[in-house]
Amino acid sequence: MYEFEYLRPTSLNEAAAALASSSEASLIAGGQTLIPALKQRLSRPSKLIDLGAITDLKDIRREGSHLIIGAMTPHAEVAASDVVREAIPALARLAGGIGDPQVRHRGTIGGSIANNDPSADYPAALLGLGATVVTNSREIAADDFFTGLFTTALNPGEIITAVRFPVPAKAGYAKFAQRASRYAIVGVWVAKVASGVGEVRVAVTGAGADGVFREGGLEKAFSLSATPETARGVKVGPDGLLSDIHASAEYRAALIPEMAARAIVDGWGGGG
């Protein structure tokens, strides 16, 4: 590690001003990705702006048909929240399956989605629910937020303040996890939105060469019948999927329908 200026603002305006003061400044939330990058000198900010003292960014609340989670809320608090468990139980289970206890108590939802690791869990929930990312300057639909590997639609100087999730009629999540890291080799989120039109959204993490994506074949099949049998009857091709030391594109393609079937069981109790 090397020398840098460390700042710990207590307000969002103070953090935004500090971020705008240098093109080489970096924000730190839980630090689960940035701290290792600093140690390996893969990241070299001139200023490190710690968001941990901004209490307004740590919040969980229900507002009508939406669940609001502050950007600095740790995964463990999402997993343990009665508000989350009542509104979107699958989201609490997803948060409880991230990493290990140390990661869950330090890592935050805002840090996770800003980093946009292609195998992270939260991006699937955001995309699968059609959530909205709220920043200090605007709101960004999840469909527009995730733009590629480790990249998002955030502009320089923009800070995530919260995520607004529409409460679905039903939702489930299942992942085939890498045993050491608990990252998803394939994770699938399935949600029936509470709009009355029967729309089912399916988002896949861990498998896409460009990161999280919606799986149109499964969405089309589920619009007719959202059952495990329907999921297992959908063939997903390997084109555009990731191949690495953990799994080939073909293996991931085979896993996607199976994880979708398990997500249906998780959120639907078997089908419907």
Q: Give the pLDDT of residue 269.
A: 78
Question: Which architecture, in CATH terms, is 5-49?
Answer: 2-Layer Sandwich (3.30)
Per-residue pLDDT tens over the stretch 207-250: 999 999 999 999 999 999 999 999 999 999 999 999 999 999 99
Q: Give the pLDDT of residue 266.
A: 95
* 1 pLDDT more than 70: no
Question: Which architecture, in CATH terms, is 170-268?
Answer: 2-Layer Sandwich (3.30)
27 vs 195, higher pLDDT: 27
Q: Give the pLDDT of residue 195.
A: 58
DSSP string of 209-220, one letter each residue = TTS-EE-HHHHH
Among the ranges given (149-158, 191-200, 212-221), the one the predictor scored with the smallest mean pLDDT: 191-200
> Which band of pLDDT confidence, cut at 50, 70 and 90, is reported for residue 35?
confident
Percentage with pLDDT > 90 across the chain: 84
Q: Give the pLDDT of residue 77.
A: 98
* 18 pLDDT more than 80: yes
Among the ranges given (77-81, 161-165, 210-214, 222-226), the one the predictor scored with the smallest mean pLDDT: 222-226
Instruction: Out of 1.10.10.10, 3.90.1750.10, 3.20.20.10, 3.30.465.10, select the CATH number for domain 57-166.
Output: 3.30.465.10
* 69 pLDDT more than 80: yes
Determine the Cα–Cα distance for residues 257 and 241; give it in Å rounded to an integer.
Answer: 14
* 198 pLDDT more than 60: no
Quote the longest CA-to-CA distance of the chain.
Answer: 58
Q: Give the pLDDT of residue 148.
A: 95
* 138 pLDDT more than 90: yes
Residue whose pair of structure tokens reads 């799994």 in the numeric block: 247
* 196 pLDDT more than 80: no
User: Do the bridges between strand 132-135 and strand 160-166 make them parallel or antiparallel, or are there none, so unpaired?
Assistant: antiparallel
Q: Give the pLDDT of residue 270.
A: 59
Q: Give the pLDDT of residue 194.
A: 66
Do residues 166 and 186 make contact, with C-beta atoms less than 8 angstroms apart? Answer: no
Q: Give the pLDDT of residue 272.
A: 56
**Quick one: average pLDDT of 200-206?**
97
Q: Give the pLDDT of residue 95.
A: 98
**Quick one: average pLDDT of 38-62?**
90
Q: Give the pLDDT of residue 271.
A: 55
Task: Note the Cα 73 to chain centre separation in Å.
Answer: 13
Where does 10-50 have alpha helices with state H? 12-20, 34-39
User: Do the bridges between strand 213-214 and strand 200-205 make them parallel or antiparallel, or are there none, so unpaired?
Assistant: antiparallel
Q: Give the pLDDT of residue 129.
A: 97
Among the ranges given (25-29, 128-132, 239-243), the one the predictor scored with the smallest mean pLDDT: 25-29
> Which band of pLDDT confidence, cut at 50, 70 and 90, is reported for residue 38?
confident
**Which sequence spans correspond to the domains of the chain?**
5-49, 57-166, 170-268
